């Protein structure tokens, strides 16, 4: 093939030409070209019909405000809605940060995913274990606490929060079952060990009652989102059981943290395998969203052009979402590379800066930004 253009050269050219376009020209642009050049992800979202979002910290800093307004049409609360952040004691719920976030998102006309009502592994209610240890009947007490939390929090934002991550990461961190005992990597799933799998249905039913119009999601951390992978198949089976029991689940979030290294599916996996998995979920009658996408750059250090290799991973995930009709949104887990949780998380801080996102530390668009735009624009509305 004469004059083979490498991916990185093409992506670099695309990024350069995007940066070269004066903002006014880009803003006036009616339709984005297939490459996405000259378009913000907000414009790509409008054209493709796929929501494009970023994780939003409690503080909602000035840089986040400018980044979000220019680049996204959706946000997910990174920590504000977690039980440990809202309830420091069994008797109290602090709505200050969540009220601020909901009001801001609505003022900016950003679709808000409230993450998450129940998560056993991290940021669970710090007082919960002690509360159950002193309860006469722990199962009844826990059922009551879950119903109270869900009803109170979802009810307060009735009509204001479009999507709830009702349950986060119910399945074992690795494998197909549940965390039924404490391990060095993860605490046991206290919801499951006290109530069995039924805790999931109870939480969804309480949420539906508290806000019949909100869309209710189960959000899961999959290392290999592929039909045939044990944990991915366990999630398909769980969703099938919930739908069969007429549990009001509307959607499934696939987190897509590409953090395990090049053995992780987000590196070698093809667009086709991820699309096939999203289609399998869609056939169960749920919508699907990519909910926490980030790609650790240091894991690609051996590539000739790590930033282009990172962009190729983002492209594969965005293309799969565009091609799979059940996919309604793609969210990256932070806005600027400087925002990322990976730089402070014990297992990944050693490779900081991980530079896993779409905007660099100065808020400039990376090759990955362009790659997500082009991937999502494969969606023919
Ligand atoms: O709020 C406390 C504060 O009171 C305290 O002073 C401070 C210092 O210790 O810690 C603060 O809590 C931190 C919390 O983020 C809020 O900022 C925790 O230490 C910190 O571990 C926590 O990290 C979050 C992480 O979940 C662990 O729970 C990250 O910001 C967040 O991005 C990350 O997000 C999760 C998703 O919710 C679920 N999927 C996996 C993803 C990555 O772990």
pTM over 0.85: yes
**How high is the pLDDT of residue 2?**
38
Q: What tokens appear for 320 in the block?
A: 């799969």
Strand partners, 329: 51, 289
Q: What is the pLDDT of residues 68-93, one digit of tens each?
A: 989 999 999 999 999 999 999 999 99
Whether the predicted pLDDT of 27 surpasses 80: no
Residue 342 domain-assigned (yes or no): yes
**pLDDT tens per residue, range 313-327:** 999 999 999 999 999
In the chain, what percentage of residues exceed pLDDT 90? 80
Over the chain, what is the mean pLDDT? 91
Name which of 75-84, 329-338, 340-349 the model is least confident about: 340-349
- What does the alpha-carbon distance between residue 57 and residue 67 come to, in Å, rounded to a whole number? 13
Distance, in Å, from the CA atom of 295 to the CA atom of 298, rounded to the nearest integer, reads 9
Which CATH number does the domain housing residue 356 bear?
3.20.20.80
Question: How many CA atoms within 13 Å lie on the side-chain side of 39?
Answer: 27
| CA distance between the termini of the chain | 33
Pocket test of ligand 1: the residue of 98, 115, 341, 346 to mutate, having most ligand atoms within 8 Å of its CB, is 341
DSSP helix/strand/coil, 360: coil
Question: Above 60 in pLDDT, residue 206?
Answer: yes
The DSSP annotation for 36-51 comes to -TT--HHHHHHHH--E
Least confident of 11-15, 238-242, 291-295: 11-15
**Residue 1 is assigned to a structural domain of this protein:** no
Provide the pLDDT confidence category of residue 261 given band limits of 50, 70 and 90.
low
- In this prediction, residue 242 carries a pLDDT of 98
Alpha-carbon distance of 206 to 192, in angstroms, equals 17
- Indicate the pLDDT class of residue 167, thresholds 50, 70 and 90: very high
- From 123, 171, 346, the mutation candidate for ligand 1 (largest count of ligand atoms within 8 A of CB) is 123
Mean pLDDT for the stretch of residues 121-143: 97
Ligand 1 centroid–CA 79 distance in Å is 6
Task: Give residue for tokens 């919960």.
Answer: 128
pLDDT digits (tens, 9 = 90+) for 89-112: 999 999 999 999 999 999 999 999
Rounded CA-CA distance 69/335 in Å is 11
Q: Is residue 244 part of a domain?
A: yes
From the CB of residue 244, how many other CB atoms can be counted at a distance below 10 Å? 9
**Torsion-angle region of residue 257: left (phi > 0), alpha (psi -120 to 50) or beta?**
beta
pLDDT of residue 60: 76
Q: Whose CA is nearest to atom 2 of ligand 1?
A: 85
Residue 174 binned pLDDT confidence (cut-offs 50, 70, 90): confident
Query: Are 164 and 221 in contact, with CB atoms under 8 Å apart?
Result: no
Q: Which residues line ligand 1 (CB under 6 A)?
A: 78-79, 85, 115, 122-123, 168, 221, 255, 292, 341
**Residue written as token pair 């925002």:** 339
Please give the pLDDT value at position 182: 92
State how many domains the chain has.
1
Arithmetic mean of pLDDT, 23-27: 48
Task: Please give the pLDDT value at position 28.
Answer: 54
| Calpha distance 52→74 (Å, rounded) | 6
Distance 84 CA to ligand 1 centre (A): 10
Considering the domain boundaries, does residue 381 fall inside one? no
- pLDDT of the residue at 264: 61
Q: Domain span at residue 212?
A: 8-376
Q: How confident is the model at residue 267 (pLDDT cuts 50, 70, 90)?
A: low
More confident residue, 372 or 176: 372
**By three-state DSSP, how is residue 331 classified?**
strand
Q: What digits encode the pLDDT tens for the residues 45-58? A: 999 999 999 999 98
pLDDT at 1: 34
| pLDDT score at 3 | 40
Determine the pLDDT at residue 126.
97
CA nearest ligand 1 atom 5, residue: 85
Mean pLDDT over residues 268-274, rounded? 81
Q: Is the pLDDT of residue 265 over 70?
A: no
DSSP label at residue 173? S
Ligand 1 center to residue 297 CA distance, Å? Answer: 21
pLDDT higher than 50, residue 20 = no
What is the reported pLDDT for 286?
98
Using DSSP's 3-state secondary structure scheme, residue 113 falls into strand
3-state SS, residue 62? helix
Q: What share of the chain is helix, strand, coil (3-state, %, to 5)?
A: 45, 15, 40
Residue 139 CA: distances (Å) to CA of 123, 195, 297: 21, 6, 44
Q: Which residues are catalytic?
A: 169, 292
- Quick one: pLDDT at residue 143? 98
pLDDT of residue 258: 86
Neighbours of 286 (CB within 10 A): 19
- With tokens 């045939």, the residue in question is 228
Residue 3 belongs to a domain:
no
Q: Is the pLDDT of residue 121 over 80?
A: yes
Q: Is the pLDDT of residue 15 over 60?
A: no
DSSP, collapsed to helix, strand or coil, labels residue 73 as coil
Mean pLDDT, rounded, for 19-35: 62
């Amino acid at each position: 093939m004469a004059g083979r253009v490498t991916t990185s050269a093409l992506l670099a050219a695309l990024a350069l030409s995007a940066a070269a376009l004066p903002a006014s020209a880009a803003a006036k642009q009616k339709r984005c070209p297939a490459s996405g050049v000259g378009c913000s992800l907000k414009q790509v979202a409008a054209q493709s019909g796929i929501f494009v979002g970023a994780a939003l910290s409690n503080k909602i800093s000035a840089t986040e405000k400018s980044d979000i307004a220019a680049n996204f049409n959706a946000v997910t609360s990174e920590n504000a809605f977690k039980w440990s952040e809202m309830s420091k004691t069994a008797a109290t719920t602090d709505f200050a940060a969540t009220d601020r976030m909901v009001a801001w998102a609505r003022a900016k006309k950003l679709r808000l995913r409230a993450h998450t009502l129940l998560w056993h592994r991290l940021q669970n209610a710090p007082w919960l274990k002690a509360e159950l240890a002193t309860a006469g009947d722990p199962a009844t007490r826990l059922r009551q606490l879950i119903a109270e939390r869900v009803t109170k929090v979802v009810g307060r934002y009735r009509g204001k929060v479009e999507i709830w991550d009702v349950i986060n990461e119910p399945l074992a961190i690795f494998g197909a079952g549940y965390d039924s005992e404490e391990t060095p990597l993860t605490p046991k799933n206290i919801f499951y060990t006290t109530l069995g799998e039924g805790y999931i249905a109870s939480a969804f039913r309480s949420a539906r009652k508290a806000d019949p119009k909100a869309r209710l999601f189960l959000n899961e951390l999959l290392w290999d989102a592929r039909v045939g992978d044990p944990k991915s198949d366990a999630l398909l089976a769980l969703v099938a059981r919930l739908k069969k029991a007429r549990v009001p689940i509307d959607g499934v979030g696939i987190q897509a943290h590409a953090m395990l290294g090049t053995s992780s599916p987000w590196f070698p996996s093809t667009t086709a395998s991820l699309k096939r998995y999203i289609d399998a979920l869609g056939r169960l009658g749920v919508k699907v969203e990519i909910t926490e996408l980030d790609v650790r750059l240091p894991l690609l250090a051996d590539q000739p052009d790590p930033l282009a290799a990172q962009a190729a991973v983002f492209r594969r995930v965005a293309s799969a979402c565009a091609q799979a009709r059940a996919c309604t949104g793609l969210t990256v887990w932070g806005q600027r590379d400087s925002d990322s949780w990976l730089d402070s998380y014990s297992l990944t801080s050693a490779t900081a800066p991980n530079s896993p996102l779409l905007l660099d530390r100065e808020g400039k668009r990376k090759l990955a930004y362009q790659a997500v735009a082009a991937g999502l624009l494969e969606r023919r509305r």
